[in-house]
Structure 1
Amino acid sequence: MSEEIKKFKVTIDGQTTEVLPGTSILEAARQIGGKSVPPAMCYYSKLETSGGRCRTCLVEVSKGSEADPRPMPKLVASCRTGVMDGMEVKNLTSEKAQEGRKAVTEFLLINHPLDCPICDQAGECHLQDLGYEHGVEGTRTEFERNTYDADDIGPYIKLNMNRCILCARCVLAANQLTEKREHGILFRGDHAEISTYLNKALDNDFIGNVIDVCPVGALTDRTARFASRVWFTKPVNATCKCEKCSGKAVLWMKGDEIVRVTARKDQYDEVQDWICNECRFERKDPKYWSIEGPRHIDRHSVISLNHYEKPKDYYRQLDNPDAIEIAKKDEEKIENNN
C-alpha cells in the first residue's frame, strides 16, 4: 500500500484548510473561497509557468510554519509562494497587503489610458475592478504615457498595446494551444511590448482564446468591436456540433442577435473549455447553436446585475403583501418616538 501523503494546514484570514504539499497560497485561498481569495491578473491555473508578473496577489505571511513561526519580512506573491504546514496568511485582514495592492494598482495604471468609456472590456475588466477598489484619483508621475497605435495582429484580433499590462497570458496560451507561436514580448523594461513577428499574423484555429485570457482590453474581438456594451447583452450557455472543439460556449445576445461568442469561464474568470475560431468568430447565427439557458456570472461585475432569477435569500418588499402595513407601523413608531 502506498503511503498517504500528509497534508499541510494553512490558515488564511482566520479560515483553516488542508492542502497537498506544493500548493500555492493562492490555490489554497481558492480552496477556501470567498473574499479571502487574492485577485490575480497574470496567474492562470490552466497555463503553465503563469504568475509572478503583476503582483496584485500580494499577501502577508504572519507565520511561516509550525517549524519556523517567524513571519516573512515582506509581502509575497501568493501565486508563486508555496504553503508550509501551520502557515498563517493575512489578505483582507492585512493593512500591509491592502496598501501594497493599492501601490501595484497605481503602478499598473501609470501608462494605462483612461478609455473605459470606449473599451470593449469595460464591465468585465480585472484592472477596472482593481481601480475601483484600490485606485486613486490622480497619478504622481509627471512623465508622458507610453502610446501605441492599435494594430490588427490577425484577421480576427485587434491589439491595443496602450492597455496591455504585460501579464504574458496570451503568449503562454499561444504556446500551449498552438503548434508554433507567432507573437511574444519584444524589447525590455519600459519599452517591452506585445507584438507579432515580422510579416506574421495570428491565424491558428485556436488563437482566438488569447482574447479570453487577456485580463484587460488589450486583445479584442474584431468581429464584435463597439457592437454593444457588455451590460446591454445577456450571456447564455449554448452548444454546437464542432469537430475541432467541445462546442461549448457562451453567446452574448442582444435581442435575437449574437453580438459575440466566448468560451465558458469559472468563477475566477478562467476558461473551462477552449473553443476554436470557427465557433468564436464564424458562427454568429442562432441556427448553429442549441441554447441551454442563461449563464450565471460568478465574478463580481456589472454583468451580474442582469439577473434572470432572484438570488437565494433575496427579499423584496414589493413581493410582501403586508409591505404597506409594515411601512405604516414604522411611521407610527417614528411619530411616537418624536
Structure 2
Amino acid sequence: MSEEIKKFKVTIDGQTTEVEPGTTILNAARQIGGKSVPPAMCYYSSLETSGGRCRTCLVEVSAGSEKDPRPMPKLMASCRTAVMDGMEVKNLTSPKTQEARHAVTEFLLINHPLDCPICDQAGECHLQDLAYENGEEQTRTDFERRTFEPEDIGPYIKLNMNRCILCARCVLAANQLTEEREHGILFRGEHAEISTYLNKALDNDFIGNVIDVCPVGALTDKTSRFMSRVWFTKPMDAHCNCDKCSGKAVVWLKGEEVIRVTARKDQYDEVQEYICNTCRFERKDAKEWIIEGPRHIDRHSVISLNHYQKPVETLRMLDNPEAKEISKKDEI
C-alpha cells in the first residue's frame, strides 16, 4: 500500500488551504477561489512550459515556509513558484503587488493599439479587463508604437501582430496539438514577433485552437470577422457528430444564425476540450448542431456583464469550503 502524500498548507490573503506538493501559488489560489486569484495572461494549465512571461500574476511571499519563515526578497510569479508547507502569500493585501500589477499593465499597453471599438476580441479580452482594472488614464510614453505589416497565415485565421503581447500561448498550443512546428517567435527584443516560416499557411486540423488560447485580439476567426459584437450574440452549448474531435463546442448565435464556434472554456477561460477546424470554421448552420442550452460565462468580463465594471468589492462564497474568507479589514 502506497504512503499517503503529505499535503502542504498555504495561506493566501488570510485564506488557508491544503494542496499537493509541487502545486504553484496560482493553482493554489484557484483552488481557494474568490478575489485572491491573480490574473494570468500567459499561463495556461493545459499547455506545457506556459507561464512566466507576462508577469501579471506577481505576488508577495511574506513567509517562505514553516521551517524558514523568511519572506522572499522579490515579488514572485505565482504561475511558476511552487508552494511550500506553511507558505504565506499576499495578493490583494499587498500594496507592492498592486503597484507592480499596475506597472506591468502599463508596459503591456505601451505598444498595444487602442482599437477595441473594431477588435473582434473586445468584450472577452483579458488585456481589456486587466487595463480597465489596473490601467492608467493616459500613457507616460511619447515614442512611436511598434507596428507590423499584415501577414496572411491561412484562410481561417487572421494575425494582427500589432495587438500581440508575446505570451506564446499560440506557439505552445500549436506545438502540443500539431505534429510539425509551423509558427513561432522570430527575432528578439522589441523586434520579436509571432510569424510563420516564409508566410506559410497554418492548415493543421486543430490549428484553429490558437484563436481560443490567445488572450488578446492578435489571432481572430476570419469566418466571423466584423459580423457582430460579442455581447450581442448568445453563447449556447452544443454538440455534433464529428470523427476528428469530441464535437462539444459553444455556438454563438445572433438570432437563428451561427456567427462563430468556439471550444468550451472553464471559469479561467481555459479550453476544456480542443475542437477541430471542421467544427470551428465550416459548421455554421444551426441544423448541424444539437443545442443543449445557454452557456454561462463564469469569469468577470464585459461579455458576462454586458458592460464595463470593476469587480464588485463584496465578499464572495469561496469555491473551497475549508478555506477562510478574507475579511474586509484585510483588504486594501
Structure-2-length-normalised TM-score = 0.91
> What CA deviation, in whole Å up to 9, does each residue of 1:136-169 have, x standing for no partner?
0111222110011232211100000000000000
Alpha-carbon distance in structure 2 between the residues aligned to 1:298 and 1:265: 9
Contact 1:150–1:158 (CA<8 Å) still a contact in 2? no
Alpha-carbon distance in structure 1 between the residues aligned to 2:150 and 2:234: 28
Residue equivalent to 1:291: 291
Query: Which segment is superposed worse, 138-147 or 120-129?
Result: 138-147
SS at match of 2:98: helix
Letter in 2 for 1:106: E
Residue equivalent to 2:239: 239
SS at match of 1:223: helix
Residue equivalent to 1:42: 42
Residue equivalent to 2:330: none
Compared with structure 1, are the counterparts of its residues 305 and 199 closer, same or farther at alpha carbon in structure 2 (3 Å cutoff)? Answer: closer
Residue equivalent to 1:300: 300
> What CA deviation, in whole Å up to 9, does each residue of 1:39-92 have, x standing for no partner?
000000000000000000000001110111011111100000000000000011
Structure-1-length-normalised TM-score = 0.90
Contact 1:13–1:93 (CA<8 Å) still a contact in 2? yes
Map 1:58-73 → 2, pairs under 5 A? 58-73=58-73
Contact 2:42–2:54 (CA<8 Å) still a contact in 1? yes
Contact 2:56–2:105 (CA<8 Å) still a contact in 1? yes
SS at match of 1:11: strand
Deviation, 1:200, is 1.2
SS at match of 1:71: coil
Alpha-carbon distance in structure 2 between the residues aligned to 1:301 and 1:246: 28
Deviation, 1:3, is 1.1
> What CA deviation, in whole Å up to 9, does each residue of 1:271-308 have, x standing for no partner?
000000000000000111000000000011122136xx
Alpha-carbon distance in structure 2 between the residues aligned to 1:295 and 1:302: 15
Residue equivalent to 2:254: 254
Residue equivalent to 1:139: 139
Letter in 2 for 1:274: Y
Residue equivalent to 1:4: 4
Alpha-carbon distance in structure 2 between the residues aligned to 1:223 and 1:150: 17
Alpha-carbon distance in structure 2 between the residues aligned to 1:200 and 1:263: 25
Letter in 2 for 1:9: K
Alpha-carbon distance in structure 1 between the residues aligned to 2:155 and 2:221: 10
> What CA deviation, in whole Å up to 9, does each residue of 1:219-252 have, x standing for no partner?
0000001000000000000000000000000001
SS at match of 1:300: coil
Map 1:129-278 → 2, pairs under 5 A? 129-278=129-278
**Percent identity between the two aligned chains:** 86
Residue equivalent to 2:128: 128
Alpha-carbon distance in structure 1 between the residues aligned to 2:70 and 2:237: 49
Alpha-carbon distance in structure 1 between the residues aligned to 2:138 and 2:246: 45
Are 2:34 and 1:17 aligned?
no
> What CA deviation, in whole Å up to 9, does each residue of 1:175-196 have, x standing for no partner?
0000002110000011000001
Alpha-carbon distance in structure 2 between the residues aligned to 1:181 and 1:259: 30
Deviation, 1:199, is 4.2
How many residue pairs get matched?
307
Letter in 1 for 2:2: S
SS at match of 2:117: coil
Alpha-carbon distance in structure 2 between the residues aligned to 1:11 and 1:199: 49
Gaps of at least 5 residues in structure 2 are 307-332
Alpha-carbon distance in structure 1 between the residues aligned to 2:294 and 2:151: 34
Contact 2:42–2:51 (CA<8 Å) still a contact in 1? yes
Query: Which segment is superposed worse, 193-202 or 251-260?
Result: 193-202
> What CA deviation, in whole Å up to 9, does each residue of 1:9-62 have, x standing for no partner?
000010001011111000000000011100000000000000000000000001
SS at match of 1:210: helix
Letter in 2 for 1:298: D
SS at match of 2:198: coil
Contact 1:12–1:36 (CA<8 Å) still a contact in 2? yes
Residue equivalent to 2:99: 99
Contact 1:25–1:78 (CA<8 Å) still a contact in 2? yes
Residue equivalent to 1:118: 118
Letter in 2 for 1:27: N
